[in-house]
Amino acid sequence: MEQPVRHPGGGGSWDEVRKSVALHGSCVVYAAVDDWALADVGAPELAADLGADDHARLVRMPASRNRDRFVAARLLLKNAAGAVLGAPPSELELAYKPGGRPYLRGIDQLEIGLSHTEGLLVVGLTRVGRIGVDTEPAGRRMLELGTEHKACTPYELQCLEEVPPERRNRDLVRLWTLKEAYSKAIGQGLRFRFTEFGFSPPGGPIRMLLPDGTPRACREWTFHNWQVEDAYTVSAAVKDPGFGCTVPPPD
């Protein structure tokens, strides 16, 4: 997969997103919340743009930055999907699996993923199988709060101990977003333990590992990690069932 595509919002071109999906089967798109935030969340056309379920959720939300992110993320997602599918966003119905994974109701040819944090929105699009995306501020403090023991395998903890102290927190954020992206792709969210599967350290192709650091046989999955806007870590997990073996989620 290529680098994520930044979309400027509004009437910006979707050509790069369409091209990426056409060439690679998948694309990750990101944007600033403010690029897609609306001054008037009571606009009549917003109900059609969001869809009945999400608009009902919006109506119940108090004015806040969280509400801005909620609206902006779904507008970005539906506009990106509509651009790839050649359909008006208002004609696409966004729904959610029991685990919270979003999907387009009645659309089989495009799978989607969604994440947002602070001022950033991230959308994943794929025609090849499944996709999960996750993002966190690159500087979010996770180390020494107990997160590493809930999120890391023994091998990952060992690897963290071997890197310079100033890099450890950023490496932990990287691991967290990779695990979140994979768990979202399989529709599990945080419902299974992150200590039961791991990822290889930075510096080469990202591979899924067993808790002891042994490579896990999962050739149909590819994993990606990027730094965007010099402030955020973004990860994606993509499943292409046309290649390799079927890999079950960790037990």
**Residue 7 CA neighbour count, 13 Å, CB half:** 31
Q: What is the torsional sign of CA 111, 94, 121, 141?
A: negative
Question: With 60 as the cut, is the pLDDT of residue 59 above it?
Answer: yes
Q: What is the per-residue pLDDT for 244?
A: 34
Residues 2-22 pLDDT 10s = 899 999 997 899 999 999 999
- Residue 116 makes CB contacts below 8 A (sequence gap 6+) with 33, 69, 72, 73, 122, 135
Q: What is the per-residue pLDDT for 128?
A: 92
Question: With 80 as the cut, is the pLDDT of residue 63 above it?
Answer: yes
Interatomic CA distance for residues 136 and 146, integer angstroms: 17
Interatomic CA distance for residues 88 and 78, integer angstroms: 9
Domains by residue range for the chain, with CATH: 5-127 (3.90.470.20), 138-239 (3.90.470.20)
Q: What is the per-residue pLDDT for 129?
A: 92
Residues 82-139 pLDDT 10s = 999 999 999 999 999 887 889 999 999 999 999 999 999 999 999 999 999 999 999 9
Q: What is the per-residue pLDDT for 68?
A: 92
Question: With 90 as the cut, is the pLDDT of residue 160 above it?
Answer: yes
Question: With 70 as the cut, is the pLDDT of residue 189 above it?
Answer: no
Considering the chain, what is the average pLDDT of its residues?
91
**The whole model's pTM is what?**
0.92
Q: What is the per-residue pLDDT for 247?
A: 36
Q: What is the per-residue pLDDT for 99?
A: 78
- Residue 81 makes CB contacts below 8 A (sequence gap 6+) with 87, 89, 92, 104, 107, 110, 112, 125
